[in-house]
Amino acid sequence: MSSGKIVVCGAGGFIGGHLVADLLRQGHRDIRAVDIKPFDEWYQLFPEVENLRLDLRLREDCETAARDAEQIYNLAADMGGMGYIETHRCLCMLSVLINTHLLMAAQKFGVQRYFYASSACVYNADKQRDPNVTALKEEDAYPAMPEDGYGWEKLFSERMCRHFREDFGLQTRVARYHNVYGPHGTWDGGREKAPAAICRKVIQAKLSGNLEIEVWGDGRQTRSFMYIDDCLHGTQMLTASDFTDPINIGSSELVSINQLVDLVEEIAGVKLKRNYNLNAPKGVNGRNSDNTLIQKIFGWEPRTRLRDGLEITYRWIYDEMVKGGVSVVNRA
Ligand code: NAD
């Protein structure tokens, strides 16, 4: 176990908050948690670590974050689900400043390991037109035609990590996450992703007695969803390893959005009338993670069954909604 300082950027967010929690569980104590949000908006906040509110788009703030660090996890980005990234392309691309300035700061302070959270959105759109997908292998990112905005930023930043490693010897590691879900994530407000959004809508229908649900697209688009525990395991395993190319960290359990709704209905014990909104953002038609490479290198792949992870996530969102006074009435 490393005894040096571990810096988690984006620690006020979903994956970053869980990573700090997991590092603490493992006994790490020298942790710096960084996010731009006010502390009362962090999804998880641990008083026993050094918490800093910084804007990592700024070079000087990246230097404050990176000083004395042994490892940096860059999980900070302006992002959200399809409803956000398809309508905020410029803001998503501006996250390039975060990774650029963090890499420069990491190099300046001789950081030993630098992890970058990339995304399945880097993959060529032509390979994702059919809901009956062939799962995406790492080489399918090129020739490049990623998701406009968010995906281009991720692909560019992946390459910058590679060149900092090749040219300057900074030990960068890059994961391409495929849809991560779990408790303590965004479930409301416009940045939420499909699993949380569907849990929220099903709970809202159940609590209000209005047994209908709006589904984005025709429900036949396919995806895989990775539970947060698998994401944390894969991230730390990759960061500690000598493997330097971008690698998929994602579940290979493919479901359609209709099947995702079926599962959440089953957990909730309701059956809803589905209204399909064909004008809503829905992303590519089909996407799955090919896990041949991660199996070959690490003999591991995400293994939490979607039904199991969803059940935990559903219960957490349910409690949050009830705690919040069920501000669910009239929500679209
Ligand atoms: P999140 O939005 O919950 O967390 C990101 C955090 O970064 C937020 O708390 C935000 O305030 C912070 N941030 C944004 N701009 C910042 C800035 N200028 N300075 C400091 N902090 C800033 O997202 P997440 O789901 O935890 O994702 C973490 C990383 O993983 C991101 O890079 C994301 O693109 C990537 N990723 C996530 C998923 C997923 O399904 N969650 C999938 C693929 C890739």
- Which residues are catalytic, by number? 150
Is the model's pLDDT at 79 over the cut of 70?
yes
pLDDT at 81: 82
pLDDT band at 133 (very low <50, low <70, confident <90, very high): confident
Taking only the tens place, the pLDDT of each residue in 144-156 is 999 999 999 999 9
Give yes or no for residue 8 CB within 6 A of ligand 1. Answer: no
Check whether 69 has a pLDDT greater than 90. Answer: yes
Query: Would you state the pLDDT for residue 329?
Result: 46
Nearest CA to ligand 1 atom 9: 13
Percent of the chain at pLDDT exceeding 70: 97
pLDDT of residue 281: 83
In tens, the pLDDT along 12-24 reads 999 999 999 999 9
* Contacts by residues 329-332 (CB-CB < 8 Å, ≥ 24 positions apart): 329/208, 331/204, 332/214
> How remote is the CA of residue 9 from the centroid of ligand 1, in Å?
9
Atom of ligand 1 nearest to the CA of 55: 19
pLDDT given at position 324: 83
pLDDT tens sequence across 110-124: 999 999 999 999 999
Mean pLDDT computed over 275-293: 91
CATH class of the 183-224+253-291+305-323 domain in this structure = alpha beta
**Ligand 1 center–CA 272 separation, angstroms:** 32
Confidence tier at 330 by pLDDT (50, 70, 90): very low
Q: Yes or no: say if 103 and 95 are a contact pair by the CB < 8 Å rule.
A: no
Whether 102 is in the pocket of ligand 1, judged by its Cβ within 6 Å, is: no
Cα distances (angstroms) measured from residue 221 to each of 15, 58, 60: 25, 38, 43
Sorting pLDDT into bands at 50, 70 and 90, what band is 104? very high
pLDDT band for position 331 (cuts 50, 70, 90): very low
Q: Which mutation among 34, 62, 75 tests ligand 1's pocket best, with the greatest number of atoms within 8 A of CB?
A: 75
| pLDDT tens for each residue of 212-233 | 999 999 999 999 999 999 999 9
- CB of 16 within 6 A of ligand 1: the answer is yes
Ligand 1 atom closest to the CA of 78, numbered from 1: 14
Residues in the chain: 332
Where in the chain does DSSP place strands (E)? 5-9, 31-35, 50-53, 69-74, 113-119, 172-177, 180-181, 212-216, 222-224, 226-227, 247-249, 254-256, 273-277
Q: 223: Cβ below 6 Å to ligand 1? A: no
Distance 35 CA to ligand 1 centre (A): 9
- The predicted model gives 65-92 an average pLDDT of 94
Residue located nearest, by CA, to atom 35 of ligand 1: 117
Domain boundaries of the chain, sorted by first residue: 5-180+226-249, 183-224+253-291+305-323
pLDDT at 327 over 60: no
Task: Report phi then psi at 225, rounded to 5.
Answer: -130, 130
Superfamily grouping for domain 5-180+226-249 = NAD(P)-binding Rossmann-like Domain (3.40.50.720)
For 235-262, write each residue's pLDDT tens digit: 999 999 999 999 999 999 999 999 999 9
CA 266 / ligand 1 centre spacing (Å): 30
